[in-house]
Amino acid sequence: MAALEFGVWNFLGFWVLGFGVCILISHLDRKLWRDLNRMKGQAIAVALVMACGLAMLTMSRSLIQSLESTRAEYYEANRFADVFAHLKRAPNSIADRVAQIPGVAGVQAGLAVSVTLDIPGLDEPASGQVRSLPDRGEPDLNRLYLRAGSWLAPGSRGEVLVGEAFAKANRLKPGDHIAMLLNGRRQDFRIVGIVLSPEFIFESRPGAALPDNRTYGIFWMPYEEVAKAFDLYGAFNYLALRLAPSSGSGAAVPAATRPLAVPAGGAAGETPARQVAARRAAPLHTSERAVIAEVDRLLATYGGRGAYGRSDHPSHIRVSDEIRVLTTLSIGFPVVFLSVAAFMVNAVLSRLLNLQREQIAILKAFGFANRDIVLHYLKFAFVIVAVGLVIGALGGLLLGTRLVKMYEMWFRFPELHFQFARSALVAASFVGVLAAFVGVFNAVRRAAKLPPAEAMRPEPPANYRPSLVERTGIAKFLSHTFRIAMRNIERRPMQALFTVAGLALATGILIVPNTFRDSVKHILGFQWDVLEREDLSVGLIEPTSAKVTHLFEQLPGVVAAEPFRVTPVRLRFGHRTRQLAIRGMTAQGIQTRIIDKSMREIPLPVNGVVVSAKLAEVLDARVGDLLTVETLEGKHIVRSVPLVGLADDLAGITAYMERFALNRFLEEGDVVTGANLTVDTARRAEFLRELKGIPRVSWVAIKESLRENFRKTTGASINLIQMIYLTFATVVAFGVVYNNARISLAERARELATLRVIGFSQREVGGVLVTELVILALVAVPFGLLLGTGFATGIISMVNTETVRLPLVLTAHNYAFATLVVAVASTLSAILVLRNLKQLDLVSALKAPE
């Protein structure tokens, strides 16, 4: 009878349960929303951290994609050349011979001359480069883009096109007039159009580390007008080539071109094989190498200064370097952020789900399979991840669009299109979803392993023991609150470890943005206060007798003048080469100094060359090695010079020699190409007015305006990026701390409520919660600072290009700031959580745990 009854009840129970399950399935999603609503604070914190990582990743990847594709399209549409060459002068017929070189698809020969400018309202002398345009029709290569105004009228006289950067810096519009000294003769020109050129995406004086668009510009005029002014009619001094698309591989190079690699100038002591090998570093196409060699051979007798490919083109290098830096940042930063986010999503979900232990047991008792439960909680996690992804994608889009505007400040593209990097979104989504999945899966698996009946019972009191600290014998000095905290930490070392890791990561990522800021600040100070102590530098149109120094010394306000000699060379070591300028400096110079890694001044010896440490790295050369120096101007000289020192300069790559030694090497007398001057500030205006009148002066670089310019452009942009990163880091720090405190509160609600019931005040109970957090934070912060130092070192060292190198500058201020942010975030989180303590249900503590 009893058995029958049991059977009936079982049967009934089965149906009731089954019915319940049917209803529950549809209600399960409702539970999901309510759970989310209840935990919205934590859910939002997790979503925001995810969003930060994602925004950063999509932002930087989008910027890279935007820059790369915009540049590629621009190059293609405006037929940017592949190989470039400057020379003294050659008859136009030589250009036809260059066109015959196998692998060459197009040739554009023209003139490039330096001019001095007189800009109304500008105190200092300005200079520029004038490029010729064919008298009829568009140039075949390096075509211009007309931003405003009109093209030059055929056969026009006295008209000029102006590069946009210079026009903007000086507020020049079509219709304005500008005075130029062409070959010493002052002429007035009417600006008819504002243009852009793929050759000058980055407009800067050759060799200058930083642009000063106010005092240096690029201009275009009809060939005839330039040629006649400089007595170059029928000749060219500048050449651009386009390579045939099919000649991309070595196999495509006709055998006939290979012997041409032997330099016609007859490099003394160099074997042909070594010459060929030395031409370029590995990535260049054999065909480009062969074409460059042949061009050099053809132009050698016409004062060729060495042809070079895009990878040596100043403007191209700048854009590529920027992309490289962005690439570094787009990997370094977001990887750190996304790992923190993933880590947090994982940790938070697994702890949140632990709190749902009983609920999971109930669902299981109702007959839900583990799979259904995992699916349910995955939905819960994915809602959070999805919110993070949407906010992150929108953030990345918004920030990317804004930062693209910043690049418009540096780089002159017809239009810099913002392109959203969908692949980054996909990658980040994958990381987020994976983190959520692992977090959910582990927690649910743990809960699902228990038989439902057992899981529904309150957890037995956990096993504790006196903490390590107490066992040292100081137990009697410790408060109960402290003991509770210490024992809790020791009982769950993994959880404590996760919290410490989260906090340490949050602290760590706060270090990086400020390291960038401090590093830029250091460059500004180091470059201009330690290395270049002159007030301004003056450049001459051509090498001039050193006596010109006296002329400078007599200008009003000049306190000291130190002449220099700069000449373009090709530097070679082994099979690696670089084209750059050797700076011949005064041996015991007080203005411009060369400093090594340990901040010691490197004295320039009578014989030998000092190079930028970065250049030595590129050439794989060490002090004591013999570098081959090949002149690219004047007499063609190829000779070995010992490398005597490595300069720790931060921008560009340079070689330094003692001025007399350089002139001896060039087999020239005591000539200079410019001077560094110290000028009495009070008389600077007077000095500049006088300087404007000296026809041989080609350019002047005023340190303060360069520094100001740097501050306004690079400095401002780095500050913007730093602000973005700092905001993200702060959000992450806050998110980690807040979530930790909230979950601790939830996990220990019963214990804390009991304390409240037996007479502890809110503050005292808060103390129990906060003590543990404080202990963990105290452990985490030093680790975080260490971790941050590691991140910063890694990321900064990746920003190590030939254009710019960031020194690793770690200041106490930076560490203090990171600590402060974490402290403030922790305090605010603690306050928020303590406010939640008020809502702690004291009555529930009396009941059985649910």
Partner 1 sequence: MTSEQQPQTTIAREQVFRVRGLTKVYGMGTAEVRALDGVDLDLFAGELAVLLGPSGSGKTTLLNQIGGLDVPTDGELWYRDMELTHADEAELTQYRRDSVGFVFQFYNLIPSLTARENVALITEIAQDPMSAEEALDMVNLSGRLDHFPAQLSGGEQQRVAIARAIAKRPAVLLCDEPTGALDIKTGIVVLEALQRVNEDLGTLTVVITHNAAMADMADRVIRFADGRVQSIRANTTKVLASSLNW
Binding site for partner 1 (CB under 8 A): 458, 460-465, 479-480, 483-484, 487-488, 491, 750-751, 754-762, 764, 842-843, 845-849
Whole-angstrom distance, CA of residue 376 vs CA of residue 441: 11
Q: Which is nearer to partner 1, 136 or 847 (CB)?
A: 847
Q: How far is the CB of 764 from partner 1 (least distance, A)?
A: 7
Whole-angstrom distance, CA of residue 106 vs CA of residue 244: 8
Q: How far is the CB of 846 from partner 1 (least distance, A)?
A: 5
Q: How far is the CB of 776 from partner 1 (least distance, A)?
A: 15
Q: How far is the CB of 744 from partner 1 (least distance, A)?
A: 13
Q: Which is nearer to partner 1, 171 or 476 (CB)?
A: 476
From the centroid of its chain, how far is CA 333? 10
Strands annotated E in 333-405: none
Q: How far is the CB of 46 from partner 1 (least distance, A)?
A: 28
- The structure tokens listed for 274 are 């070594």
Cβ contacts of 573 within 8 Å, gap of 6 or more: 619, 620, 621, 625, 627, 628
Q: How far is the CB of 467 from partner 1 (least distance, A)?
A: 9
Q: Are 70 and 415 in contact (CB under 8 A)?
A: yes
- The structure tokens listed for 331 are 């990997």
Q: Which is nearer to partner 1, 38 or 465 (CB)?
A: 465
Q: Which is nearer to partner 1, 544 or 762 (CB)?
A: 762
Q: How far is the CB of 767 from partner 1 (least distance, A)?
A: 12
Backbone angles phi, psi at 442, to 5 degrees: -65, -45
Q: How far is the CB of 848 from partner 1 (least distance, A)?
A: 6
Q: Are 115 and 104 in contact (CB under 8 A)?
A: no
Q: Which is nearer to partner 1, 462 or 812 (CB)?
A: 462
Q: Which is nearer to partner 1, 512 or 840 (CB)?
A: 840
Q: How far is the CB of 530 from partner 1 (least distance, A)?
A: 58
Q: What would the 3-class secondary structure string for 713-742 be?
A: HHHHHHHHHHHHHHHHHHHHHHHHHHHHHH
Instruction: Quickly tell me which residue has 């400096």 as its tokens.
Output: 585
Q: How far is the CB of 843 from partner 1 (least distance, A)?
A: 5
Q: Are 489 and 775 in contact (CB under 8 A)?
A: yes
Whole-angstrom distance, CA of residue 381 vs CA of residue 377: 6
* DSSP for residue 198: G
Classify residue 747 by burial, with Cβ atoms within 10 Å: 0-12, 13-18, 19+: middle
Q: How far is the CB of 752 from partner 1 (least distance, A)?
A: 10
Q: How far is the CB of 512 from partner 1 (least distance, A)?
A: 37
Q: What angle do CA 427, 428, 434 make, to 5 degrees?
A: 90
Cβ contacts of 118 within 8 Å, gap of 6 or more: 125, 126, 178, 179, 180, 181, 186, 692
The pairing of beta strand 609-612 with beta strand 655-658: antiparallel
Distances (CA, A) of 426 to 344, 389, 430, 432, 593: 20, 10, 6, 10, 50
Cβ contacts of 777 within 8 Å, gap of 6 or more: 503, 737, 822, 823, 826
**At 470, is the secondary structure helix, strand, or coil?**
helix
Distances (CA, A) of 833 to 41, 506, 606: 10, 19, 71
Q: How far is the CB of 480 from partner 1 (least distance, A)?
A: 5
Q: Which is nearer to partner 1, 487 or 576 (CB)?
A: 487
Q: How far is the CB of 499 from partner 1 (least distance, A)?
A: 16
Q: Which is nearer to partner 1, 491 or 639 (CB)?
A: 491
Q: Which is nearer to partner 1, 429 or 771 (CB)?
A: 771
Q: Which is nearer to partner 1, 127 or 771 (CB)?
A: 771
Whole-angstrom distance, CA of residue 729 vs CA of residue 341: 11
User: Alpha helix (H) ranges present in 679-807?
Assistant: 684-692, 703-710, 716-747, 749-757, 762-798
Whole-angstrom distance, CA of residue 650 vs CA of residue 799: 11
From the centroid of its chain, how far is CA 169? 25
Cβ contacts of 51 within 8 Å, gap of 6 or more: 387, 388, 389, 391, 392, 395
Q: Which is nearer to partner 1, 91 or 466 (CB)?
A: 466
Q: Which is nearer to partner 1, 704 or 764 (CB)?
A: 764
Instruction: Quickly tell me which residue has 């906090």 as its tokens.
Output: 503
Q: Which is nearer to partner 1, 3 or 758 (CB)?
A: 758
Helix or strand (DSSP H, E) at 85: strand 83-91
Q: Which is nearer to partner 1, 354 or 488 (CB)?
A: 488
Name residue 800's beta-bridge partners: 805
Q: Which is nearer to partner 1, 259 or 458 (CB)?
A: 458
Q: How far is the CB of 385 from partner 1 (least distance, A)?
A: 34
Instruction: Quickly tell me which residue has 């690793």 as its tokens.
Output: 808
Q: Which is nearer to partner 1, 245 or 759 (CB)?
A: 759
Q: How far is the CB of 508 from partner 1 (least distance, A)?
A: 30
Residues in the chain: 850
Q: Which is nearer to partner 1, 511 or 765 (CB)?
A: 765
Q: Are 311 and 284 in contact (CB under 8 A)?
A: yes
Q: Which is nearer to partner 1, 497 or 846 (CB)?
A: 846
Order of strands across the sheet that contains 308-309? 104-110, 235-243, 83-91, 308-309
Q: How far is the CB of 492 from partner 1 (least distance, A)?
A: 11
Q: How far is the CB of 488 from partner 1 (least distance, A)?
A: 5
User: b or e along 280-307 (b: 16 or more beta carbons within 10 Å of the residue's beta carbon)?
Assistant: beeebbbbbbbbbbbbbbbbbebbbbbb
**At 216, is the secondary structure helix, strand, or coil?**
strand
